[in-house]
C-alpha cells in the first residue's frame, strides 16, 4: 500500500490531467510503459533459467521471447551512443523481439537545446539529462559504460573500451551507430588550447566556472598592487577580464549569447555593481541563424544588438586565438580584441570512429552514407543515424529533431519485415531559438510561419518542457524556472575551491 501522498501523485501522473489532450498523452505513455514492463516481466518468469534453450548466455542472459518462434534466439542489437538518435531507438525498440545492448561513454541523454540555459544556471544540469539506466532496466536491455573503438564486420564484433582503458569485444547481429559529431576548430591556431566549447555537460560546468572566475578576478585585480585606487591600466585589465566572446552564430552560439547576457545584465549587474560598465559581449560569425528566413535573422540580429548589448560582427573569420587575444578578419579589414572568456560554437566535425572503420562515406568524408532505410551503404546489418550519418541524395540538417525521428523510424523498422518498410521521411515540426530577454523566434510551425517575442519565448519553453523524456525532468525544469524567477541564478563556485578536507 502506497502512502496517501504517493497514491495521489501516481493518480495525477496516470490520469489526473486526463481532460486535456496533453494529460491524455501522458496517461497513454504511462499505460504503455506499464503494459511493456508487465509483458517483459511475464516473459522473463515464463522462461527456464540460464543455459536452457532460448537463453543467450553471451549477452544479457535474458529469456529469448521472439513472438511466433518459441525458443528462437532474438537478434542481438547493439546500439552505439546515448544521443538523440540512439536513445530514441532504445526508448522505442521492441525488446521482446530484440536483445538490446547499449554502449556509450555517457550514461545519459543530454537535452542539448537547453545546454546554454544550464551553462548559466537558469536550469540545473540534472534537469536536462535523462539517465539511461531506468530505461534499460524497464526494457530489460543491457548498458555498458564504454566507447566503441573498433568494428570487425566479418566477425560481427564491436571492440569496446571502458573509461579505465580496458578493452573487450561484443557480438552483434545488427549494429546501430549514433555517435554524433564533435566540435570543430578547423585547425585554427590556438582554438583547442584557449577556447571553451559548448557540447557536453562538462563544457557547461567549465564555462560557468570560468565566467565566475573572471568576475572574481575583475573584482580584486585593482587591489593586487596594494593600492585600492583604480589606475587606467587596471581599468583596461578589468575590461579585458569582462570581455566575453562567442564565436559562431548558429543556434548554440545565439542561445548562449542570449543566456549569457541575461545573466550579465541581471545577476552580475546587481551583485557586482562596480563592474557593470566594463562588461562587453562580442559575437563573431559569418552569418546568423542561417536556417531561419531573412526576416527572422534580421529580428534576431536587431534584438541581440539593441536589447542584449551584444556586438554582433557578421562576415567574420577568426584567424588565431591567443590566451587573451583573438585575431579576426572582417571582410577586408582585421581586428584583434583582448578577452577574458572565448567560447567556440562555430562548427562540428566527425568523430575518428566515423572515418576510421571502413564505412561508406559522403563526398566530403564527414558523414556515413546510408540508404533511404538508414542502412550503411554496402552493409547488410549496420545502420547509422543522427548527426554522424547522411542519407544518399536526401540532405537533412544535423539537428536533434532529425536524429530523434530517425531513431523512432529505425526502432520500428528493426522489428518489421524488411520488405515492408518504407524509406525514412523527415517531417519538419518547426525550429526555434532563444535570444535572451524573454524573447525567442519560432519558424515553420504547423499553420504558422513565424512567431517572435515573448509569445515565442513561452512557446519555446513549453515545447522544450513537453519534449522532456520523463515526468521527473518536466518537474525539475518547472521548479528550476520558478527558482530562477524568484531568487535569480546561483553564483556559487565549486570546483577546486571546495576540495574535501
| Interface contacts to ligand FAD, rule CB under 6 A | 80-86, 103-106, 112-113, 115, 147-148, 178-180, 198-199, 251-252, 351, 353, 386-388, 398-401, 403
Compute the least distance from the CB of residue 54 to ligand FAD, in Å.
Answer: 29
Cell triple for residue 296?
A: 527572422
Q: In what order do the strands lie in the sheet with 167-171?
A: 146-152, 157-162, 167-171
Look at phi and psi of residue 416 and say left if phi exceeds 0, alpha if psi is from -120 to 50, else beta.
beta
Compute the least distance from the CB of residue 430 to ligand FAD, in Å.
Answer: 10
Of 272 and 359, the one with the shorter C-beta distance to ligand FAD is 359
User: How many CB atoms neighbour CB 242 within 10 A?
Assistant: 25
Dist CA 192 CA 13 (whole Å): 46
Of 81 and 121, the one with the shorter C-beta distance to ligand FAD is 81
CB 387 within 8 A of CB 381: no
Compute the least distance from the CB of residue 348 to ligand FAD, in Å.
Answer: 8
Residues 6+ apart with CB under 8 A from 191: 185, 318, 321, 344
Of 263 and 272, the one with the shorter C-beta distance to ligand FAD is 263
Compute the least distance from the CB of residue 319 to ligand FAD, in Å.
Answer: 24
CA dihedral angle for residue 421, residue 422, residue 424, residue 428, rounded to 10 degrees: -130
Compute the least distance from the CB of residue 333 to ligand FAD, in Å.
Answer: 31
Compute the least distance from the CB of residue 113 to ligand FAD, in Å.
Answer: 3
What DSSP line would sit under 340-397, residue for residue? SEEEE-S-EEE-HHHHHS---B-TTSSSEEE-TTSBBTT-SSEEE-GGGEEETTB---
Dist CA 70 CA 52 (whole Å): 13
Of 199 and 282, the one with the shorter C-beta distance to ligand FAD is 199
Q: Please name which of 378, 404, 398 lies closest in space to residue 468, comparing C-alpha atoms.
A: 404
Compute the least distance from the CB of residue 208 to ligand FAD, in Å.
Answer: 14
Q: Please name which of 252, 344, 330, 251 lies closest in space to residue 290, comparing C-alpha atoms.
A: 251
CB 76 within 8 A of CB 174: yes
Compute the least distance from the CB of residue 148 to ligand FAD, in Å.
Answer: 4
Residues 6+ apart with CB under 8 A from 436: 257, 258, 259, 260, 261, 262, 303, 304, 307, 308
User: How many CB atoms neighbour CB 176 within 10 A?
Assistant: 28
| SS3 (DSSP) at 242 | coil
Dist CA 88 CA 130 (whole Å): 12
Dist CA 501 CA 131 (whole Å): 30
Of 272 and 353, the one with the shorter C-beta distance to ligand FAD is 353
Compute the least distance from the CB of residue 87 to ligand FAD, in Å.
Answer: 7
- Residue whose beta carbon is closest to ligand FAD: 83
Of 201 and 421, the one with the shorter C-beta distance to ligand FAD is 201
Q: Please name which of 288, 293, 292, 334 lies closest in space to residue 314, comparing C-alpha atoms.
A: 288
Q: Tell me the C-alpha to C-alpha distance, in Å, between residue 309 and each of 26, 49, 264, 302, 356.
A: 41, 66, 10, 10, 44
Compute the least distance from the CB of residue 110 to ligand FAD, in Å.
Answer: 7
Of 111 and 272, the one with the shorter C-beta distance to ligand FAD is 111
Compute the least distance from the CB of residue 456 to ligand FAD, in Å.
Answer: 13
Compute the least distance from the CB of residue 345 to ligand FAD, in Å.
Answer: 7
Of 132 and 316, the one with the shorter C-beta distance to ligand FAD is 132
Of 275 and 410, the one with the shorter C-beta distance to ligand FAD is 410
Of 201 and 324, the one with the shorter C-beta distance to ligand FAD is 201
Of 162 and 231, the one with the shorter C-beta distance to ligand FAD is 162
Of 66 and 428, the one with the shorter C-beta distance to ligand FAD is 428
Radius of gyration of the CA atoms of the chain, in A: 25
Amino acid at each position: 500500500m502506497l502512502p496517501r501522498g504517493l497514491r495521489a501523485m501516481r493518480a495525477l501522473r496516470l490520469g489526473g490531467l486526463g481532460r486535456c489532450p496533453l494529460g491524455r498523452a501522458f496517461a497513454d505513455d504511462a499505460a504503455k510503459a506499464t503494459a511493456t514492463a508487465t509483458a517483459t516481466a511475464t516473459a522473463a518468469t515464463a522462461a527456464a533459467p540460464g543455459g536452457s534453450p532460448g537463453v543467450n548466455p553471451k549477452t544479457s542472459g535474458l529469456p529469448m521471447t521472439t513472438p511466433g518462434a518459441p525458443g528462437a534466439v532474438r537478434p542481438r542489437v547493439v546500439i552505439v551512443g546515448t544521443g538523440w538518435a540512439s536513445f530514441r531507438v532504445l526508448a522505442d525498440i521492441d525488446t521482446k523481439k530484440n536483445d538490446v545492448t547499449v554502449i556509450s561513454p555517457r550514461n545519459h541523454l543530454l537535452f542539448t537545446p537547453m545546454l546554454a540555459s544550464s551553462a548559466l544556471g537558469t536550469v540545473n544540469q540534472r534537469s536536462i539529462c535523462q539517465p539511461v539506466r531506468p530505461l534499460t532496466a524497464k526494457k530489460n536491455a543491457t548498458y555498458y559504460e564504454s566507447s566503441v573503438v573498433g568494428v570487425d564486420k566479418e566477425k560481427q564484433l564491436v571492440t569496446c573500451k571502458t573509461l579505465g582503458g580496458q578493452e573487450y569485444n561484443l557480438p552483434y547481429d545488427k549494429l546501430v551507430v549514433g555517435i554524433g559529431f564533435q566540435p570543430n576548430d578547423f585547425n585554427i591556431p590556438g582554438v583547442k588550447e584557449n577556447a571553451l566549447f559548448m557540447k557536453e555537460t562538462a563544457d557547461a560546468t567549465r564555462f560557468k566556472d570560468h565566467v565566475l572566475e573572471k568576475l572574481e578576478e575583475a573584482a580584486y585585480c585593482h587591489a593586487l598592487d596594494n593600492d585600492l585606487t583604480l589606475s587606467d591600466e587596471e581599468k583596461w585589465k578589468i575590461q579585458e577580464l569582462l570581455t566575453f566572446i562567442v564565436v559562431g552564430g548558429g543556434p548554440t552560439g545565439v542561445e548562449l549569447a542570449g543566456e549569457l547576457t541575461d545573466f550579465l545584465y541581471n545577476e552580475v549587474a546587481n551583485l557586482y555593481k562596480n563592474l557593470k560598465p566594463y562588461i562587453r559581449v562580442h559575437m563573431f560569425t559569418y552569418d546568423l541563424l542561417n536556417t531561419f528566413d531573412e526576416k527572422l535573422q534580421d529580428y534576431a540580429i536587431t534584438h541581440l544588438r539593441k536589447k542584449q548589448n551584444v556586438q554582433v560582427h557578421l562576415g567574420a573569420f577568426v584567424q588565431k586565438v591567443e590566451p587573451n587575444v583573438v585575431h579576426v578578419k572582417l571582410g577586408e579589414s582585421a581586428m584583434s580584441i583582448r578577452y577574458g572568456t572565448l567560447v567556440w560554437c562555430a562548427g562540428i566535425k566527425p568523430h575518428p570512429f566515423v572515418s576510421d572503420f571502413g564505412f561508406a562515406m559522403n563526398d566530403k568524408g564527414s558523414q556515413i552514407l546510408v540508404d533511404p532505410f538508414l542502412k550503411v551503404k554496402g552493409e547488410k546489418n549496420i545502420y547509422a543515424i543522427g548527426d554522424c550519418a547522411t542519407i544518399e541524395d536526401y540532405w537533412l540538417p544535423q539537428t536533434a529533431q532529425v536524429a530523434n525521428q530517425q531513431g523512432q523510424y529505425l526502432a520500428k523498422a528493426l522489428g518489421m519485415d524488411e520488405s515492408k518498410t518504407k524509406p525514412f521521411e523527415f517531417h519538419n515540426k518547426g525550429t526555434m531559438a532563444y535570444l535572451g530577454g524573454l524573447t525567442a523566434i519560432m519558424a515553420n510551425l504547423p499553420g504558422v510561419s513565424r512567431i517572435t517575442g515573448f509569445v515565442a519565448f513561452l512557446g519555446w519553453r513549453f515545447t522544450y518542457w513537453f519534449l522532456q523524456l520523463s515526468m521527473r525532468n518536466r518537474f525539475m525544469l518547472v521548479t528550476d524556472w520558478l527558482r530562477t524567477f524568484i531568487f535569480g541564478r546561483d553564483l556559487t563556485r565549486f570546483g577546486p575551491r571546495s576540495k574535501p578536507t
